[in-house]
Structure formats: C-alpha cells, structure tokens
Amino acid sequence: MTMEKRSTREALGDGLTELGRLNENVVVIDADVASSTYVKAFADEFPDRYYNVGIAEQNMVEVASGMALAGKKPYAVAFSSFLIGRAYDQIRCCVAMPNLDVKLVATHAGITVGEDGSTHQMLEDLALMRVLPNMNIFVPADYWSARNMIVSSYKNDKPLYIRLGRPEVPLFYSPWDEFHIGGGRIIREGSDVSIVACGIMLFEALRAADILARQGIEAEIIDCYSVKPLPEELIQSSVRRTGCCVVAEEHNGMGGLCGAVAESLGINYPVPLRFVAVKDRFGESGTPAELQEYYSLKYREIVGAVAQVWTTRRR
C-alpha cells in the first residue's frame, strides 16, 4: 500500500479507454454523468462509440441490452443509486433474464459519496444485484484493481455489475495484478481470525490487523472483490484454519457481502461471525470521513468484532 491515492471511479475512464483500443465492439452508454464518472476520456477518444442518453437510466439499460443483442459489448454507466434504484426492472428483465453481455458500472456507491446525502448514498445495490440470477458482481478496493477488473471484463460474456466509489483511496495493488469472476485474494495471512472485506473496508481491515497483531491475534485478511459468485472455497479454507470470521463492507449488513458469507458459512461450516456494516439505515449528509465514523465503518469496529468472535471461535 502506498501513500498515493486515487479513486476507483477514476479507473473507469482509464479502463474503458484501454478497452476501446482493445476491442472495437466496446461501446459506452452514459446517463449524462461523463465528467463525474470519468468516461469523458472514452467519449473524447471514441466519440462514435459513446452514447449519452441523458438522465434516463431505464432507457440506458434498454439501449445497452439492444446493443448486446446486436453483437456489441456495452458498458452502461451511471451513479449507483440511479442505475440500480431507477432501472432495476430493466436490469432484471432486459439484462439478467436473457443473460446478456451487458456491463453495468456504477460510481458514487456507499456512504462515502458524502455531502450529497441519503438519496445518492446507495447501500442496497449489492443485495439487489445478488438476488438476480445470471448477475455477477465486482467490488474493487483501489484504482488498480478497478482498472484491471474493467479491462478484463470484456473477456466474459455474462451480465456484470461493477461497484465503484467517489473518494480517493490508497493504492494497494499493482498494474499487473489479475482479477477474475468468483475470485478473492488473501492479502495477509493469519491463524486466529478471518476478516473478509471488500471495497474501502479492505483498508480498515488492514489497519485493524496491525492493532490485533500487537494484541497477539493474527488476522487473515481476504479481499473478497467478487461478491457474486463468492470465492467460497477460499473463505471456507481460511475459516477452517481460524475458526471465526468478521465481514466488513460499505453496504447494508443485510443482503450484500455480509449476507453472502453468512449464507455460505451457515450451510458449510458454521463459526462465530460478526458484521461491520451499515445497520439497516439510510445515509445522511456529511463528509466521507465523518460518515465512516458515524456509521461505525472503521478499523476500531473491526477490532471490536474480532474480540467478540475470537473468544468463542471454533477450535
């Protein structure tokens, strides 16, 4: 991890532009947010493959599905709250049901959207996307993972939802790291507790692991960047070694990564389990840092959750 910071949404413009050079069938459909999502870079280089449909997310998804049927590789881009919230029926009926090669890329997800408030702070999107058959989900943690997921995504011909954020975050991965659907990474080995995280909570998990190590508890950190399909074997293998688990995500504690891990472990290997996530609430206005504190999405909460599961871990 470096001191340099870049946002995952910034990777969208760079990744799509690189994709445009690799595959002439890549097209971008935008809901009039090109400057905020950084897809303006693609529009400037490939104006004949960029379509701004205006603030009309439902129409955007239908246009994308039609282009997929015509053999194109469409990337539909909008803010998370409007892409998933407004266009859910179109995503369900026009993308997931026919199992089309449409990539849905949402920026400004989670409470770290900041001052824009609850209408823009989407905390339910992973749950909504998870329950759709055929849908795959990526949640990158930093700029390089986001960029590499976007660039490699065209090789897969299934529906895919990529969740990106607004704030700048530390660079953790390298330009050469690879990511695949159904994958995850152990980024710190440990024997006492498994911490499964995605997105910005990966960095909070790493900070928590440093504190726990000083207390004699070695945490194993898993970047669960593929929320669906879940890297179940990786998670279960870790939990069988550690005997307990904490899940951390910038999302409602129900239905997202927390729900996915709980379902998997509940069926296959039940262990003491705690969540660090938003607790059945909508967002509020504030700076990203203030909101992370207010909604208890910091390393301190992860340390506290580990203290609860570690004392009752499965041995």
Active-site amino acid positions: 57
Q: Which two tokens stand for residue 247?
A: 């899940």
Q: Which two tokens stand for residue 81?
A: 């709250």
Half-sphere exposure (Cβ direction) of 81: Cα atoms closer than 13 Å:
17
Q: Which residues contact 169 (CB under 8 A, 6 or more apart)?
A: 5, 6, 7, 8, 141, 142, 143, 200, 203
Collapsing DSSP states into helix, strand and coil, what is residue 275? strand
Give the closest residue to 107 by CA, choosing from 187, 208, 188, 30.
30
Q: Tell me, what amino acid is at 45? A: E
* Local structure of residue 166 (DSSP, 8 states): S
Burial 186-223 (b: 16+ CB within 10 A, else e): bbbebebbbbbbbbbbbbbbbebbeebeeeebebbbbb
Q: Which residues sit opposite 170 in a β-bridge?
A: 5
